Amino acid sequence: YTGWDADGGYAEFATVPAAFALPLPAGYRDTELAPLLCAGIIGYRALQRAALPPGGRLGIYGFGGSAHLTAQVALADGAEVHVMTRGEQARELALALGAASTQGAADPPPVALDAAILFAPVGELVLPALEGLDRGGTLAIAGIHLSDIPALNYQRHLFQERQVRSVTSNTRADAHAFLDFAASHRIEVSACPYPFDSADEALADLSAGRVAGAAVLSL
């Protein structure tokens, strides 16, 4: 990962193999493109891992930079989306984007879910997310990091062929497919810009749930 394993994450220019360079969709500002390139693509991958059936009921736990983009992909495909998240601003954004319902992060959804995606890095939410699934449903955990998961009860959380799947990263095919989608469907990107020297403030606001959508650092 550039900027993590190798220097240059904030370089003005970079050289990359052509196979890893992707065309950017037109019609988006830089502050809108930035969340698409990481949050959007990994959210798209998580949606594939969740194995949502056509027209199915999807639960989203946590509604930040990645989740609010993923919800729009699911809605465009005909899904019924239910959002569980802690922040009032995030719940308002979810409803504005077309979610069928919103409730607190650990609250039960109003209907049994065919699939769910956990975006919040909170292991305790795995339990209510699994309880919210219908039989045969899949929970995809989208985060690179997750706090410890409490003990599961087999009957309540896993029985009737519910399953849990992790999301490690995305493929180039995922990236092409998501950016093609963004080119043909207008995605509403909720981005809160911060100057580069206010990165600590951005992280604090994200941690406290004060950002609706994505936080973007601007040079």
Which pairing describes strands 80-84 and 101-103: parallel, antiparallel, or unpaired? parallel
Tell me whether residue 90 is in a domain: yes
* Tokens (6 digits) for 4: 């993590």
Chain centroid to Cα 133, Å, comes to 18
Q: How confident is the model at residue 98, as a pLDDT?
A: 98
pLDDT at 11: 84
Does 17 map to a domain?
Answer: no
Q: Which residue carries 């065919």 as its tokens?
A: 114
Q: Mean pLDDT of all residues in the chain?
A: 94
Task: Retrieve residue 152's tokens.
Answer: 């599961």
Asked, for residue 206, whether it belongs to a domain, the answer is no
Is the pTM higher than 0.85? The answer reads: yes
SS3 at position 154: helix
Tell me what pLDDT residue 53 has: 97
- 59 in a domain, yes or no? yes
Domain span at residue 175?
A: 52-188
pLDDT reading at 59 higher than 80: yes
User: What does the pLDDT average to over 190-203?
Assistant: 94
**For residue 1, what pLDDT band results from cuts at 50, 70 and 90?**
confident
**Residue 29 belongs to a domain:** no
Here the CATH number for the domain that contains residue 95 is 3.40.50.720
pLDDT value for 143: 84
Kindly list the distances between the CA atom of residue 218 and the CA atoms of 166, 192, 193, 195, 210, in Å, as whole numbers in the listed order: 31, 10, 6, 5, 18
Number of domains in the chain: 1
Which long-range contacts link 79-83 to residues 24+ away (Cβ below 8 Å)? 79/52, 79/55, 80/55, 80/56, 80/111, 82/57, 82/58, 82/109, 82/110, 82/111, 82/113, 83/59
Instruction: Kindly report, residue by residue over 156-179, the tens digit of the pLDDT.
Output: 999 999 999 999 888 899 999 999
Task: Please tell me the least confidently modeled range out of 9-18, 19-28, 77-86, 97-106.
Answer: 9-18
Which are the contacts of 137, defined by CB distance < 8 A and separation ≥ 6? 112, 113, 114, 115, 116, 162, 163
34 assigned to some structural domain = no
The yes-or-no verdict on residue 51 having pLDDT over 80 is yes
Examine residue 162 and state whether it is found in any structural domain, yes or no. yes
Rounded CA gap, 144 and 147, in Å? 10
Closest C-alpha to 118, from 153, 144, 136: 144
Per the domain annotation, does 211 fall within a domain?
no
Check whether 2 has a pLDDT greater than 80. Answer: no
